[in-house]
Structure 1
Amino acid sequence: MKLLHAFRKGRNGLTRLTPVILLGVFSCCTSSRSTISNGYMYIQKDGREKKQWKLVWEDNFDQPKLDTSKWAMVPPGGSAWDKHMSADPRCYALRDGKLFLRGIINPDTLKDPRPFITGGIYSKGKFAFQYGQVEIRAKLECARGAWPAMWMLAETDKYGKYPRNGEIDIMEHLNYDSIVYQTTHSYYTLNLKQDKNPPHYGTAAIHPLEFNTYGIKWFPDKIVFTVNGKETFTYPRVAGVDPSQWPYNQPFYLLIDQQLGGDWVGKINSSDLPVQMIVDWVKVYQ
């Protein structure tokens, strides 16, 4: 079921995201931890994998409006995950230092015929990073058909179109489950069907109605998934296999979205709506 979900996600939606064309121009300003490319891509310097990480980027959502220097609203698309995405202000709120991303019944189907609309944000073209640690603290409300997700996609088309640049799913939650899925997808796992060499996803137990911190620790040779600081699943770089197994040597951007519906999560129960993901903060370290 997980593999089928991933293939539909890639085939039907992610290729619609417009790539950002980069010239590889580096800024003159660098830190001891990373090189900043094009002013917004934080590329961790070689040899720092075992050194202590420090905070390089964050959002505490303590402003009255979404910080558009860091985020944009996810536009609607044709895949299961983004078909209900909307810029409708009723799908978003900032209050008490938290971001609310909502899935709701569409109140105006004359203006927009979709029965449901949802909120989501991404840092595409505004912030991306290569290696380091990301943590996102959030509370996930439950509903039949609810599919909140925190994930990452490549900022550039280094290896071609999706899925050749890979995907990192920090967290996906379905319905009323007491677990989350943490996954990697790539040409290797999807097209070559090598999803067990090595295993490409794991699950972790959570209390969905409580705030939890979801994250990854990303190294040149492995991605370690975490929940509340505990390591839950590791996807390693493997020697002697097709090179498409490891497209994770380039900058990725962040997506956080309250998705609804699709074959993987199942039918939406409108009586369960509205539903929301409440995001407390996002922090990235290198």
Structure 2
Amino acid sequence: MSKYIFIICAIILVSCKNTSYKIADGYKYIQKDSINSKDWKLVWKDDFEAPTLDTTKWTKIPKNNADWGNYMSSDPRCFDISDGKIYLKGIVNKDTISDPRPYLTGGIYTKGKFAFQYGKVEIHAKLESAQGAWPAIWMLAEDKKYGRYPRNGEIDIMEHLNFDDIIYQTTHSYYTLELKQSSNPPHSKTSKFDKEAFNTFGLEWFPDKLVFTLNGKETFTYPRVKDVDKSQWPYNQPFYLLIDQQLEGSWVGKANPDDLPVQMIIDWVKVYQ
């Protein structure tokens, strides 16, 4: 019997040694600083095969006062799950008695349910176009280590405006927004994409750089820089995912109701460490 106990203990020790991350508070996946991009292992995913939203992983994003959140809603008309995909919609609100807002939009996030520090994330999705449409796949800090926004940073894996054939991939922080340091180093890039097809939007996140990808190819790298204000790199803490079909805002402009409904179709989400 002792021989078998020894074997089991050895397996456990080897497994722990090979695990490149630890889990804090039951849901925050913290990658070791010795991360090796060749050793990615899948740690979390959703392929939306279930008939309803998996609420152990996601929450519908509620209305908020941010520029992007004016029309966020849990209204079931803004969501559909079928054929292994989730459809996040921006719609004209035809029931302004129950809710006076002219539009409603659907979005989901992993806040309080899944967050990670360093690793690789990919989202396979298709974007529809409309005037005033602003679909986004992005990340925010789970614990707000450095205080209020924008001190904890923001990672925009993908943003799309109106009928564009480009996407924006961007970082925001106190360094870029308040100190106006948007070129040391450059914090944003646009890339052309096939808006008629599904694309894979991704990020590889290391202790010293953010590497943005499109369909598996590197598009833009935001490095950690020495000898600048420390607010340049708030990306050393767990972040959660947000995926939402936004409408309107100061950047994208007014929506055209004749173009609606519009939707972002998500096939799957995968996170590796």
TM range, smaller chain: over 0.9
Q: What is the distance in 1 between the residues matched to 2:249 and 2:59?
A: 23
Give the match for residue 178 of structure 1: 165
| SS of aligned partner of 1:134 | strand
| SS of aligned partner of 2:137 | strand
| SS of aligned partner of 1:101 | strand
Q: TM-score scaled to structure 2, two decimals?
A: 0.93
Q: TM-score scaled to structure 1, two decimals?
A: 0.89
RMSD: 1.1
Q: What is the distance in 1 between the residues matched to 2:162 and 2:35?
A: 39
CA contact (8 A) 2:131 2:162 kept: yes
Give the match for residue 79 of structure 1: 66
Q: What is the distance in 1 between the residues matched to 2:99 and 2:36?
A: 48
Give a deviation string over 1:195-242, Cα, whole Å, max 9, x none: 110000001111112100001000000000000001000000000000
Give the match for residue 247 of structure 2: 260
1:57-206 alignment, distance < 5 Å:
57-206=44-193
- Give 2:220's aligned amino acid: F
CA contact (8 A) 2:248 2:254 kept: yes
CA contact (8 A) 2:121 2:203 kept: yes
| SS of aligned partner of 2:121 | strand
- Aligned identity (percent) is 67
Give the match for residue 52 of structure 1: 39
Give a deviation string over 1:76-108, Cα, whole Å, max 9, x none: 011220100000000000000000000000020
* Match of residue 241, structure 1, among 221, 228, 239: 228
Q: What is the distance in 2 between the residues matched to 1:80 and 1:56?
A: 32
Give the match for residue 207 of structure 2: 220
Deviation at 1:188, TM superposition (A): 0.3
Q: Which consecutive unaligned segments of at least 5 residues does structure 2 have?
A: 1-14
Give the match for residue 7 of structure 2: none
Give the match for residue 267 of structure 2: 280
Give a deviation string over 1:20-67, Cα, whole Å, max 9, x none: xxxxxxxxx967121000000000123123441010000000001000
Q: What is the distance in 2 between the residues matched to 1:51 and 1:274?
A: 41
Q: What is the distance in 2 between the residues matched to 1:186 and 1:50?
A: 25
| SS of aligned partner of 2:39 | coil
- Give 1:207's aligned amino acid: D
Q: What is the distance in 1 between the residues matched to 2:33 and 2:141?
A: 19
